[in-house]
Structure 1
Amino acid sequence: MSKPEVEFQDGPAPTELVIKDITVGTGAEAVPGGTVEVHYLGVEFDSGEEFDSSWNRGESIQFPLRGLIQGWQDGIPGMKVGGRRQLTIPPHLAYGPAGGGHRLSGKTLVFVIDLINAG
C-alpha cells in the first residue's frame, strides 16, 4: 500500500463519526480495547491540511486502542487486517471543543487508516 490521498468532502462537517471503508481487509479483525498496528494520515476537515502522518515518518505505529481518541476507539473495531478505512471525526470524539488546549481542539478531523496487524 502507498500513502493515501484524502478527498475533500463537500458540505458541512458531520456531527457524528462517519466510517467509510475504502478497502475491506481479509485478515484478523480489530476488537474494542485491542492493540492495533496501523499506518495513518490525518487531515483537517475544513482546510484539508495534513497534520499528522505515519507515512511521513516511514514506519507504522502500534498501540492499544483504549489510549486513543474516542473516534478511533469507535471507528477501528470491525476493521480487518489489510483494510483501509476513512474516519471523519467531530471534535467531541477527537480533541474536544475549541479552546480545549490541544492544537486540534474544536476541529473535525479526517483520518485514513490502514490496518496492518490486530491483536
Structure 2
Amino acid sequence: MYAVLGRRHGRILHADQQEGSQIFTVNAVLPVIESLNFANEIRKQTSGKANPQLSFSHWEIIDLDPFWTPTTEEEYKLYGEKADTENRALHYMNQVRRRKGLHVEEKIVEFAEKQRTLTKNK
C-alpha cells in the first residue's frame, strides 16, 4: 500500500491500528489527478484487503514552473540539456489538456538517432 501511494506522489499523514482488531487505518494526502483508478490499483496490490475511502481535503500549489528549462551552466551540469527529470507540473498540465482534447506540445520523435533503419532482411 505504501508503494502505491509513493508511486502516485502521496504523503502519509498517520497510520494507526485499532486496538483489539486487525484493522489498520492509514490517512494520506494524494493529488486528485493521481487518484484516478487508485481504488482498483490499491485493491489489486493488497489482494482486495484494502478499502480506500477518498474525500477532498484541500488545494495545494505545486511549486514548480511547468515551462522551466535549464539556463545557467550549473543547471546544465546538474540536469543536462534536455532536463530529463520529469516536471510534475508539466506532466499534470499535459494530462488535463489531453483529457479535455486540447493541444499538447510534445515531440513525436524524441531521439531520432535511435530509430531503426528500413533495410530489407534477406
User: TM-score category by the smaller chain?
Assistant: under 0.3
Work out which of the two has the higher radius of gyration on C-alpha atoms and give 1 or 2. 2
Which structure has the higher relative contact order (CA within 8 Å, separation 6+)?
A: 1
Higher strand content, 1 or 2:
1
| TM-score calculated relative to the size of structure 1 | 0.19
